Each structure stands twice: as C-alpha cells, then as structure tokens.
C-alpha cells in the first residue's frame, strides 16, 4: 500500500513487518520518506520506490515492528542506577565488603561511598537469604573496610520488589547523621535495628510503600544533582531505544526537578525518545489548586502542550496513601530520590475537589488505583455528572482487580487503563496460587478486550525492557512456581504487541500519528533481535532491538546489524 510514487529515503525489505494495522497484516517491505512512512507492502510493491539516493536495507527475514510506547516508564531512573557501584552478583558479606574496599581505595578520606542495594537488579529479590550468611552486613563489618569514609548501602526503591527496603550505614555515616543508641524511629513503619547492648547495627528496615529513610534519618546521604539527572536521562533514553522503545508516557507524574532535566535534554536536541510528562502538583488545598490551574493549567490541558519530542500533559493526583510518607518526602522537596515525583496525601474530600477543578480546566487526571478502584470510580462518576470526562481519556494507573461491573463503569467514563502484568503476576503473583478465580480477575486483559476497555502496558522500569512485560501478559506465570495465573486471560503475542504499540499511542492521543506501520504515520520502528511470534516463549524477555528509528532517524544501531 502506498501514498506516493516519488523516491523513498529509506526502504526495508525481505523482512517480517508486523504492521499493527487494523487487520494485523504482516508485510515484507516498508518505505520511509522524511519522518513518515511512505508505503508498506510486498517487496515488489515497495522496491520500485527506490531512487538513486535511497538507502535500501535487506532485513534478511528479521522482524520489524512499530516503536514501543511505554506508558508507565519512569525512564529517568535507569541511567541514575549507573551512578552508584553495583552489588549485583555478591553472594556473601565477604563479596559485599570487597566491593566497598575497592571503592574506598579510589576515594579520599572523608568522602562518601554509596552503593546500589544488595541483590541483583532489576528486582533485588531473595535477600538476605541468598547471601551465604543469610543476613545483612552490620556497621562494624563495613567499618573494617572503611574506617575513614562514610558508607551507605542504599535500600531498594520498594516498588522494584516489595517492602521492606533495607539500607545499611557504617559508623562514620551514622555519626554524620547524628544517629546513636538514643535515636528514636520517626514512625512505626521504620526500624532502627539495635544489638543486645542497644547500639544501632547500621541496618534500617523501612516497611513503607515508598521508602523514607533518606528523607529523615539519613538525609545526609549525597543526593542526585541536576547534572547527574541530565546525564542519566540521556543514558536512559539510549537504553530504552536499545530495546525498541520510541515513546514514553509518565503516568505517575514527574516533579519539577525531573521536568527540568527533560527540558535541558530537549533544549540541546539530544532527546531520542518521544516523552509525555504528566505533572505532579502537591497542593494542600482546593484554593491553591484552583489558583495554579488558572495560572498554568493551559500548559498541560487537553491532549497536552509541546512538540513531537516533549509534551506536558495533565496531572497526577494521589488518592489517600500514607500521611507519614507524604509528610516525610514532601518536607525534602525538591529532592524526590528514585521516585522522581512528590508524594502527596489527599483524603477523599480533597481528591474530589481536585478532580472537579481539573475537569473544569480540561486537565487530564491520572491516579493510582491498585487498592482503591471503587472509591476512585465513584468520585470520577460524580465529577462526570458535573463536567463530562468521557472524551478526556482520564487514566487509572496500576489497575489490578476489576470486576465486569467496574469495567463497564470504566468504559462508560472513557477511562484508559494502565496495566503492569510483570509486577502483578510474575513478581507479586504468589497470593493467587491457590485462588484461581482471583487470578482470573487480576489484570484480566482478555476481559478488557471483550468489553472494549482501552488499555496499555507500562514497564514501571522493572525492568525497562518491554519484552519482559509483553512476555508476562502472554505467559502469566508466577516467578517461584512457574504456575500459570488466570490462563483464560493470556494474550497472544500479536495482541500483546498491539497493546504496547497502538494501545500506547491511544494513551497519548496519537493513534492517528503512530503505533502502527501505515502510510503517513511517523516512522517510529524497531528491528528486533528475534522473531517474537515463533521464538521460545521463555526467551521473549531477552529480545532487544538491532535498529531503532524515530521519525525516520536512527537512534540506536547494534553492531550486529
């Protein structure tokens, strides 16, 4: 199928092109002119579009797909992980101490040594039982290899796994933080571990959904700088490109320090991922929210404001949560740590007021509903009665359980569902092992399709490779047993890819511009390392991109291609 007979700039042929068009057709060739797809079809239809200056690439049977749209990406985090030394592959306290010793050897006395958490990324599971000693190191063991440098082993960002988040400080770090035998915990959810003599062992146990230790007890630990965030974001974009991701939507919202980093990368022309940023205001009253919306609401209203590479779109509103977490983390703004967003606390009344105001100002609302879907739906229905939102594509994040009746209400409100099957099924699915009916209603993708509910996938940056998430939707297995959870809700590989392409484009109000390989759509495409339709199912999470293009421009190319 073609829309022009003029010479193409690029042609890919002799491939398996998964177009994601309305009929899920598979073609063998595609032509690109400028930043858009010129034509797609069989080789003998497309090759005649080659001119003297056309670059023609033989795919040799490889699979080419539309660029992945990750709608809960937390992309800024990935590059930040490379700032700190890793403890991955450490299987004993001796191994951990050796990493610390090596870091100290290259650090001046008195300077901080800060590492990533104990365990293997991206989820840091099975700790400390996977260490030979079956426990974490103490301050005194860290002191043996770092008597003159403060040492801090970061706890996990709890959403990477599940609470608790365990962080560890040596004696020099505890002294700088002013922590001794008399220090009291700021909250019952945080334990300052002490030995039988009442002395802190250096181990902090944080049971919170979002860790707080670095926001109160250990606020002296070095924090991400703006320069680090900018460099890390560029690195993050390259990594996301390397797995075929061409677009992201930050549905959990981003704080000003993250927006600033994106703006600098965009200003410099270095952005290689189309990014839509949901703003993350932390209002304390309806009056404050109304004043802000009147002053700047237009900059993020409707489908968003910006260009094809960076756009501000809507707001994130937190429904309830933990007052302790909110107070601890907001007190340290603009610092947000791994989160990249400010954590507010809004009771039902304040959330309702914010929702009404947002609807009046045409601000798209995003909110996390994992355990509060019914409450949020009820409030959205009240908002809709006053100011219709059914054409506004408001977003509900981290949807887990939803009954058919709730799905019908979601459809009636025109809401779009963000789903993270890797987290809910593979990582945290053990609770469903003996409850097949409950497993069938957990992220029930087939039911979404049957009922006409719009949804898309997010990686949540754990890991950032979208094919791990795609695999979780196809396999629906629990990580420790391999048991299939809700087999009737499994998606085919083709359908799962559609969710990650056209589903994501719909999230971004751009289903007419990207998400499929069709004439006049943006030439956002990726050539995959494997055939995702026929490869062994268990290997799908290892798929990467050999070549990634955004608007016809190559942003990633593997040496093997």
| Non-local CB neighbours of 198 within 8 Å, separated by 6+ positions | 181
pLDDT band at 428 (very low <50, low <70, confident <90, very high): very high
- Are 492 and 59 a contacting pair, CB within 8 Å? no
| Non-local CB neighbours of 386 within 8 Å, separated by 6+ positions | 356, 359
**pLDDT value of position 221:** 98
Q: Is pLDDT of 138 > 80?
A: yes
**pLDDT value of position 15:** 98
> Alpha-carbon distance 164 to 156, whole Å?
8
Q: Which of 378, 464, 457, 388 shows the shortest CA–CA distance to 425? A: 457
pLDDT digits (tens, 9 = 90+) for 438-459: 999 999 999 999 999 999 999 9
> Alpha-carbon distance 402 to 443, whole Å?
8
The DSSP output letter for 522 is B
> Alpha-carbon distance 312 to 62, whole Å?
36
Instruction: Calculate Rg over the CA atoms of the chain.
Output: 24
- Are 165 and 211 a contacting pair, CB within 8 Å? yes
Architecture label for domain 226-553: Alpha-Beta Barrel (3.20)
**pLDDT value of position 3:** 54
- Are 476 and 435 a contacting pair, CB within 8 Å? no
pLDDT band at 382 (very low <50, low <70, confident <90, very high): very high
- Other C-beta atoms lying within 10 Å of the C-beta of residue 325: 21
Q: Which of 83, 169, 154, 157 shows the shortest CA–CA distance to 116? A: 154
Where exactly are the structural domains of the chain? 84-215, 226-553
HSE at residue 426, side-chain half, CA atoms within 13 A, is 21
Instruction: Identify the burial level of 323 via C-beta atoms within 10 angstroms of its C-beta, where 0-12 means exposed, 13-18 middle and 19 or more buried.
Output: exposed
**pLDDT value of position 2:** 52
Q: Is pLDDT of 544 > 70?
A: yes
- Other C-beta atoms lying within 10 Å of the C-beta of residue 130: 14
| Non-local CB neighbours of 266 within 8 Å, separated by 6+ positions | 309, 310
Percent of the chain with pLDDT strictly greater than 70: 99
Instruction: Identify the burial level of 235 via C-beta atoms within 10 angstroms of its C-beta, where 0-12 means exposed, 13-18 middle and 19 or more buried.
Output: middle
Task: Give the total residue count for the chain.
Answer: 561
What does the DSSP assignment read for 475-496? H-B-TTT--BSSGGGPPPHHHH
- Are 247 and 273 a contacting pair, CB within 8 Å? yes
| Non-local CB neighbours of 274 within 8 Å, separated by 6+ positions | 246, 247, 248, 308, 309, 310, 514, 524, 550
pLDDT digits (tens, 9 = 90+) for 199-241: 999 999 999 999 999 999 999 999 999 999 999 999 999 999 9
pLDDT digits (tens, 9 = 90+) for 92-133: 999 999 999 999 999 999 999 999 999 999 999 999 999 999
Extended strands (E) in 452-510: 455-457
- Are 286 and 357 a contacting pair, CB within 8 Å? yes
What does the DSSP assignment read for 72-135? B--THHHHHTTSS---TT--SHHHHHHHHHHHHHTS-TT--EEEPPSS-TTT--STTTTSTTSS
| Non-local CB neighbours of 559 within 8 Å, separated by 6+ positions | none
Average model confidence (pLDDT) for the chain? 96
What does the DSSP assignment read for 256-275? HHHHHHHHHHHHTT---SEE
- Are 41 and 221 a contacting pair, CB within 8 Å? no
pLDDT digits (tens, 9 = 90+) for 5-58: 789 999 999 999 999 999 999 999 999 999 999 999 999 999 999 999 999 999
**pLDDT value of position 561:** 85
Average pLDDT over residues 424-429: 94
- Other C-beta atoms lying within 10 Å of the C-beta of residue 5: 9
pTM given for the model: 0.95
> Alpha-carbon distance 110 to 491, whole Å?
54
Beta bridge partners of 167: 204
- Other C-beta atoms lying within 10 Å of the C-beta of residue 65: 23
- Residue 53 is encoded by which pair of tokens? 């200056």
3-class DSSP assignment, residue 491:
coil
What does the DSSP assignment read for 199-247? -EEEEEEE-SSS--GGGTTTTTS----HHHHHHHHHHHHHHHHTTTEEE
**pLDDT value of position 1:** 53
Kindly report the CA angle at 218 between 336 and 460, in degrees rounded to 5?
35
**pLDDT value of position 560:** 80
Beta bridge partners of 346: 320
């Amino acid at each position: 199928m073609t829309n022009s007979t003029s010479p193409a700039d690029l042609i890919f042929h002799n491939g398996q092109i998964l177009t994601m068009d309305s009929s899920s057709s598979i073609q063998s060739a595609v032509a690109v002119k400028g930043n858009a797809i010129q034509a797609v079809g069989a080789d003998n239809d497309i090759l005649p579009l080659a001119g003297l200056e056309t670059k023609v690439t033989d795919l040799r049977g490889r699979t080419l797909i539309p660029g992945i749209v990750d709608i809960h990406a937390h992309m800024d985090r990935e590059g930040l992980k490379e700032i700190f030394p890793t403890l991955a592959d450490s299987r004993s306290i001796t191994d951990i101490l050796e990493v610390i010793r090596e870091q100290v050897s290259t650090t001046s006395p008195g300077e901080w040594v800060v590492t990533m958490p104990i365990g293997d990324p991206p989820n840091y599971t099975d700790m400390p039982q996977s260490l030979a000693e079956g426990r974490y190191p103490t301050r005194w063991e860290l002191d043996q290899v770092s008597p003159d440098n403060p040492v801090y082993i970061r706890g996990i960002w709890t959403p990477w796994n599940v609470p608790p988040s365990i962080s560890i400080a040596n004696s020099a770090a505890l002294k700088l933080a002013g922590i001794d035998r008399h220090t009291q915990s700021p909250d019952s959810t945080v334990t300052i571990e002490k030995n039988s003599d009442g002395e802190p062992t250096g181990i902090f146990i944080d049971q919170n959904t979002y860790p707080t230790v670095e926001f109160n007890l250990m606020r002296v630990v070095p924090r991400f700088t703006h320069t680090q965030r900018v460099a890390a974001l560029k690195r993050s974009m390259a990594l996301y490109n390397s797995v075929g991701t061409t677009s992201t939507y930050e549905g959990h919202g981003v704080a000003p320090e993250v927006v600033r980093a994106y703006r600098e990368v965009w200003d410099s022309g270095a952005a290689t991922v189309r990014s839509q940023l949901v703003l993350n205001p932390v209002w304390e009253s309806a009056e404050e929210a109304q004043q802000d919306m009147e002053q700047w609401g237009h900059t993020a209203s409707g489908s968003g404001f910006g260009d094809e590479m960076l756009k501000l779109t809507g707001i994130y509103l937190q429904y309830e949560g933990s007052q302790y977490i909110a107070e601890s983390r907001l007190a340290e703004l603009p610092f947000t740590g791994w989160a990249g967003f400010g954590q507010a606390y809004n009771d039902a009344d304040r959330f309702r007021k914010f929702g009404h105001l947002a609807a009046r100002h045409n601000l798209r609302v995003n909110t996390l509903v994992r355990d509060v879907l019914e409450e949020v739906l009820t409030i959205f229905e009240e908002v809709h009665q006053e100011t219709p939102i059914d054409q506004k594509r408001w977003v509900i994040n981290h949807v887990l359980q939803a009954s058919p009746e709730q799905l019908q209400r979601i459809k009636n409100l025109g809401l779009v569902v963000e789903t993270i099957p890797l987290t809910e099924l593979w990582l945290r699915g053990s609770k469903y092992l003996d409850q097949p009916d409950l497993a069938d209603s957990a992220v029930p993708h087939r039911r979404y399709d049957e009922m006409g509910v719009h949804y898309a996938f997010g990686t949540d940056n754990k890991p950032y490779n979208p094919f791990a998430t795609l695999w979780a939707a196809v396999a629906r297995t629990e990580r420790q047993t391999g048991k299939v959870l809700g087999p009737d809700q499994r998606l085919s590989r083709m359908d799962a890819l559609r969710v990650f392409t056209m589903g994501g484009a719909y999230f971004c109000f751009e289903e007419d511009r990207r998400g499929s390989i069709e004439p006049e759509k943006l030439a956002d495409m990726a050539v995959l390392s494997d055939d995702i339709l026929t490869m062994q199912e268990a290997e799908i999470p290892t798929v990467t991109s050999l070549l990634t293009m955004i608007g016809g421009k190559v942003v990633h190319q593997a040496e093997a291609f």
